[in-house]
Amino acid sequence: MSFDNLKLEKGMYRQEGMNFTQVLESLDPSENYRGTALEGTDAFQRQLKRFGIRAKGAGSSPVEKFFRTTDSAVLFPEYIARTVRQGMEEHDILPAITATTTVIDSLDYRSVYSEATDDDKELKYVMEGAAIPETQIKTKSNLVRLNKRGRMLVASYEAVRFQKLDLFGVMLRQIGAHIQKMQLNDAIDVLINGDGNDNLCKIYSVGSQPISGTAGTLTYDQLLEFWGQFDPYTMNTMLCSTGTVTKLLKLPELQNPAAGLNFQGTGAMGTPLGAKVHRVAGLEDNVILGLDNRYALEQIRCGDVMVEYDKLIDRQLERAAITSICGYGKICADASAMLYI
């Protein structure tokens, strides 16, 4: 079946286990377009082309072009969801702090964990006929909490019908950025306070053993001592507020010319002790949250970005909800720790 004669309907958003684009792809596979001018496009993009809808650029179409026909109106919720996802992905640091992402189709999720003692972490010699040391993987006692985060799209069709999609998309990306910021705060909260399964992160303070120095002052020595607490993990990621990042950048040991030029030219910070530094608003000043992003955190998503497609297709934009359900679970409790300066 060619992309220009597909019958589009609301029911395509209700297919179990498939999103709208996946339903389109099942009817109009992208592999059929190899070697053609449409190679590299997906089924949704081909539908935009079919109806002459241009989503970006100075010549972008007005919002009302989606509603010229009943078929093209069905594309509008997917356009909303895609643009919101784009806003969520811009400057998104969640992939940099999560070890794995699990997608589920329910609101209940119980993760697994492994409690390894220092003795368990040693790979010992096994004599002939002797038992092999065990590593137990258990189910967590409590369910992982999933939070529904979202924004309400409040606008009348008359207010936006003549607006260009390029400008309208900026508003949608901003909604995505707000959702992403709330999900990042959820992730930071779980890293610090645990996921309800008695797995709070370890807390260290400058001036209290095993961290030397004077409270309120950060030197390279304290940074080294904090790094040393992660064995056998590696502190390869650091989350800090703007004020704390400023203190890090002022350390003489981190002010080599190459790092300085890179920061001044691109805004990319150096990597103290090999750790990537991320500036986040969800942490207070004088706190460093360190983690091994390969083992610390699991992201759990219940589906994708959800929009009230019925309202959007019927031009009832007033109070149309755009939501995302997501939660976080700690995998290895010792793979994250916090330092109070």
The 10s digit of each residue's pLDDT in 171-181 is 999 999 999 99
Q: What is the mean pLDDT of residues 285-313?
A: 93
Render pLDDT for 40-49 as a digit per residue (tens, 0 to 9): 999 999 999 9
Q: Report pLDDT digits (tens) over 258-283.
A: 554 454 455 455 567 889 999 998 89
State the pLDDT at residue 317: 79
Q: The tokens of 301 are what?
A: 């998503």
The mean predicted confidence, pLDDT, of the chain is 87
Confidence at residue 60, expressed as pLDDT on a 0 to 100 scale: 94
Residue 104 has pLDDT above 60, yes or no: yes
Asked if residue 38 has pLDDT above 80, the reply is yes
Nearest 10 degrees: Cα torsion 42, 43, 48, 50: 120
Using CA of residue 313, residue 315, residue 316, residue 322, what is the dihedral sign? positive
pLDDT in tens, 205-260: 999 999 999 999 999 999 999 999 998 899 999 999 999 999 988 888 777 655 54
**pLDDT score of 129:** 67
- Indicate the range of 164-173, 236-245, 318-327 predicted with least confidence: 318-327
In angstroms, rounded to a whole number, what is the distance separating the alpha carbons of residues 72 and 74?
5
pLDDT at 116: 59
pLDDT at position 261: 44
Q: In this predicted model, which residue has the larger pLDDT, 215 or 131?
A: 215
Reply yes or no on whether the pLDDT at 20 is more than 70.
Answer: yes
Q: Specify the pLDDT at position 117.
A: 59
pLDDT for the residue numbered 260: 46
Residue type, 318: E
**pLDDT attached to residue 113:** 66
pLDDT value of position 5: 86
Whether the ω angle into residue 77 lies within 30 degrees of 0, i.e. cis, is: no
Between the CA of residue 165 and those of 62, 83, 182, 198, what are the distances in Å? 6, 10, 26, 48
Q: What is the token pair recorded at 19? A: 């999103």
Residues 169-195, mean pLDDT to the nearest whole number: 94
Residue with more model confidence, 105 or 117:
105
| % of the chain with per-residue pLDDT over 90 | 60
**What percent of the chain is predicted at pLDDT more than 70?**
89
The burial of 75, by beta-carbon neighbours within 10 Å (0-12 exposed, 13-18 middle, 19 or more buried), is given as buried
pLDDT at 82 > cutoff 60? yes
